[in-house]
Structure 1
């Protein structure tokens, strides 16, 4: 791989992955969504088999024009992602989620909403970072990520330099990065780590964004008495 800063850096041959890929047995309808819908929504060129040279993705070709591209990291059940795509039809939104049950839930919501400006990577977002062109993202979302509550597991959280540095490389100067969580220690680490990767803190507190769509994880947190917290950064530079 070349040392050109506009190209993605060389990716490791193998990475540790922590977390679940499969949950409860899928319903027949969900299996149908995966079999019938996923292939058409999956960006080509993320896997090593499809892109052994790890060439940058052609995002205008992915969405059919040169529009803004947003990224949702770990979309869970997909409700926030579908809402954002439906209310912003002029953007292209890529979602990454390794949990296949969540992918199936998203595909069902896409069918119901009839949105067409989405792409779905059913895998690790780090694989997407390997092939995203530099300064190609206009916004990114990290909503209720896995908290990894044990201290020895904090290095597995998304808000570490392993994840944040490639995210920053892929974001345009001034692009917005939103983080939502109900875990105080996750917010603490977010506020410490994200600026170190080249982001500027814009706001943080208990007030959600005007266009926020509450997720099932947030609703669970509220039922269990945990307070949501919302943090906004912009890409420096």
Structure 2
């Protein structure tokens, strides 16, 4: 499945209705047979360049005040002083998007998961200059958070430019798998939004096939402009400006 300007427009464009796809039934049956439920591993780098003395100091002083200490079944709003809802970002990188969302939505708690230590170090430097109270950070596997969350407790989730793992033998390492979507379906509130972005055509097709096949998610797209352009509350980041190799695609799915 390739997303392009020539791609057919989904027949059902409104929220709460699933865009029709002639291959959905066959895709779902094929996906259910794939060996995606495997022993959990965390792939990718944990460390990058050596941290500066200032970054090391922030890890010792600032990070403990923002670190998420998981408690199974705990209402995620209780990780914050006073928020109305909680959103989750998987793999926040340098934290630009996470910080922007937290600044724009002071009554929303933002939980970010990022195992890459250098990414968290960059975010801590930003937070040192712009203190903010509605962010919590988890420096490990996002699936730990998802497992600990109670049902229907998250109002929005972001999976933005994850590692595409382009080699076929590495596809099982991709974050978007059917069992991962099962987990998101459990923790997302009805009507909550799942946002996915990538510039890798192979991963986009892979993710879209699974999202379209999953009964709990509805694609909100009316036509190509909806996946070729970001919404006003979806800020660009320096990572996108410097690191992307293809045209980014922005997918928005609603939990039905």
Aligned residue number for residue 201 of structure 1? 219
Q: Contact between 1:142 and 1:180, CA under 8 Å: does it hold in 2?
A: yes
Distance (Å, rounded) in 2 between the aligned partners of 1:17 and 1:180: 20
Secondary structure of the residue aligned to 1:44 is coil
Highest Rg: 1 or 2? 2
Q: 1:43 deviation in Å?
A: 1.8
Secondary structure of the residue aligned to 1:123 is coil
Distance (Å, rounded) in 2 between the aligned partners of 1:58 and 1:85: 19
Aligned residue number for residue 248 of structure 2? 228
Aligned residue number for residue 124 of structure 2? 107
TM-score by length of 2: 0.79
RMSD: 1.7
Q: Does 1:89 align with 2:106?
A: yes
Provide the aligned length of Structure 1 versus Structure 2. 214
Q: 1:221 deviation in Å?
A: 4.0
Secondary structure of the residue aligned to 2:137 is strand
Q: Does 1:41 align with 2:66?
A: yes
TM-score by length of 1: 0.85
Higher RCO (CA 8 Å, separation ≥ 6 residues): 2
Q: Which runs of 5+ in 1 are unaligned?
A: 1-11, 47-54
Q: Which runs of 5+ in 2 are unaligned?
A: 1-36
Q: Which moved more, 1:187-196 or 1:227-236?
A: 187-196
Secondary structure of the residue aligned to 1:173 is strand
Q: Which moved more, 1:145-154 or 1:103-112?
A: 103-112
Secondary structure of the residue aligned to 2:220 is strand
Q: 1:18 deviation in Å?
A: 0.9
Q: 1:102 deviation in Å?
A: 0.6
The Cα offsets for residues 37-90 of structure 1, whole Å up to 9 and x where unpaired, read as: 1111112225xxxxxxxx312323211235110011000000011011001111
Q: In the alignment, which of 137, 140, 149 is matched to residue 166 of structure 2?
A: 149
Structure 2 counterparts to residues 50-199 of structure 1, below 5 A: 55-65=72-82, 67-197=84-214, 198-199=216-217
Distance (Å, rounded) in 1 between the aligned partners of 2:81 and 2:43: 34
Distance (Å, rounded) in 2 between the aligned partners of 1:38 and 1:31: 10
Secondary structure of the residue aligned to 2:170 is helix
Q: Does 1:24 align with 2:49?
A: yes
Q: Contact between 1:138 and 1:172, CA under 8 Å: does it hold in 2?
A: yes
The Cα offsets for residues 178-200 of structure 1, whole Å up to 9 and x where unpaired, read as: 11111111111111112334211
The Cα offsets for residues 137-181 of structure 1, whole Å up to 9 and x where unpaired, read as: 000111110010111111111111132211121100110011111
